[in-house]
Amino acid sequence: MTESPISLLDSGGDGAATVRNAVARCLDEVTRAGVTPGRSTETCGGSFAVIAGIGTTAAGALRGALLHDALAAAGVEPADTMPFPDPAMLLTDRSWDLALVLSPWKQQVAEQLATRTDSAVRTGVVDTVVRGTGGPAGVNTNTWAAQAAMETVLGGRTPDTVLVLGSGGSSNSVALGCRRAWPEARLIGSARNAGALAAWAARFGADAVAPGELKALCAEQAPALIINTTTWGETDTSEKDPFVFDFAELTRPGNCYFDLNNRVSALQTTALRSGMNVMSGTFMQRVTNTCRAALLSASPR
């Protein structure tokens, strides 16, 4: 049975309202999971919070301006930030209030948490752990953040076809956002890892297409929205090897491209030159951090 569409896009085109809608949905999920966000007894309490992080870029993310801007807007002051090297050390430490979970740990951390929100369960991915009064709980803020970004870049358009490049943890969050916003759209995935792609397609009722077959597929009907969930384009080094997909052949004027990476990459430049509407991952990261700050302040801002 197809789910009824859930839109985050504000009818008046108000970007701030779209962010608030995403945060409200995320907080509602946390409440329905039976989680009451609390503070560690070892922290300062009040408006202060200890923020942890795990992942290859955790140290940088904990210092990031987007995170600290969101915390400040919610009236939360970081008492300390703590990067951890592995899930075991993170989950046994009781001195933090909220933890950022970054690649490559999103799926592994999800498997170790007894309490998870619906989005975390449906995707098998956790990007945030909040210390609830009953213990740590896994949250997937990225499903709502990605959906807010995708609806915004499309400007209210309902896509007939959505193409997701990559089969890592983020591809699951993006797919769930697509299914919520546009349950009738054809969802296509493509990746080098055939096994992971097949599992992803089965989970979301999508079509799995090998990278070499995309050109012919898109020649018939180019996808209205393309999302890059891979790390190609994340750094200069990542662009030294050829992209596994023949990206230029997938682009069409008037269609949309969403890249989860914040850096302006060759892919984004190619999409812009082809006349596509393009968005980097910055807006999605802003929404994710606003959700995290709201979990600490216990109310959307």
- Rounded Cα–Cα distance for residues 15 and 283 (Å): 10
For residue 150, what pLDDT is reported?
Answer: 97
Q: What are the pLDDT digits (tens) for 51-97?
A: 999 998 899 999 999 999 999 999 999 999 999 999 999 999 999 99
Same fold, 15-141+284-297 and 144-281: yes
For residue 13, what pLDDT is reported?
Answer: 58
* Phi, psi dihedrals of residue 224, rounded to the nearest 5°: -65, -30
* 144-281 is a CATH 3.40.50.720 domain: yes
Mean pLDDT, the chain, rounded, equals 92
Two structure tokens written together for 7: 């839109």
For residue 39, what pLDDT is reported?
Answer: 60
Question: Strand, helix or coil at 104?
Answer: coil
For residue 132, what pLDDT is reported?
Answer: 86
For residue 300, what pLDDT is reported?
Answer: 35
In this prediction, residues 188-211 reach a mean pLDDT of 97
Per-residue pLDDT at 214 exceeds 90: yes
How many Å is the Cα radius of gyration of the chain? 19
Domain extents in the chain: 15-141+284-297, 144-281
CATH number at 15-141+284-297: 3.40.50.10860
pLDDT-based confidence at residue 14 (cuts at 50, 70, 90): low
More confident residue, 283 or 44: 283
Count Cβ atoms below 10 Å from residue 248 Cβ, excluding itself.
13
Q: Which amino acid is at 17?
A: A
pLDDT-based confidence at residue 235 (cuts at 50, 70, 90): confident
- Rounded Cα–Cα distance for residues 206 and 185 (Å): 10
Cα torsion 228, 233, 237, 238 to 10°: value is 10
- Rounded Cα–Cα distance for residues 203 and 199 (Å): 6
For residue 260, what pLDDT is reported?
Answer: 96
Q: How many residues are recorded in the chain?
A: 301
Q: Which amino acid is at 280?
A: S
Q: What are the pLDDT digits (tens) for 95-123?
A: 999 999 998 999 999 999 999 999 999 99
Over pLDDT 70: what percentage of the chain?
A: 93
Q: What are the pLDDT digits (tens) for 28-57?
A: 999 999 998 766 544 445 578 999 999 988
pLDDT-based confidence at residue 1 (cuts at 50, 70, 90): very low
Per-residue pLDDT at 299 exceeds 60: no
Per-residue pLDDT at 218 exceeds 90: no
Question: Strand, helix or coil at 238?
Answer: helix
Kindly provide the b/e burial profile for residues 259-277, where b requires at least 16 CB atoms within 10 angstroms of the residue's own CB: bbbbeebebbebbeebebb
Two structure tokens written together for 220: 């018939």
Rounded to the nearest angstrom, the gap between the alpha carbon of residue 200 and the centroid of all alpha carbons in its chain is 16
Two structure tokens written together for 182: 């546009």
For residue 103, what pLDDT is reported?
Answer: 87
With residue 221 as reference, give the H or E element that holds it.
none
Q: What are the C-alpha distances in Å from 219 to residues 64, 170, 213, 245, 251? A: 41, 27, 10, 14, 10
For residue 36, what pLDDT is reported?
Answer: 85
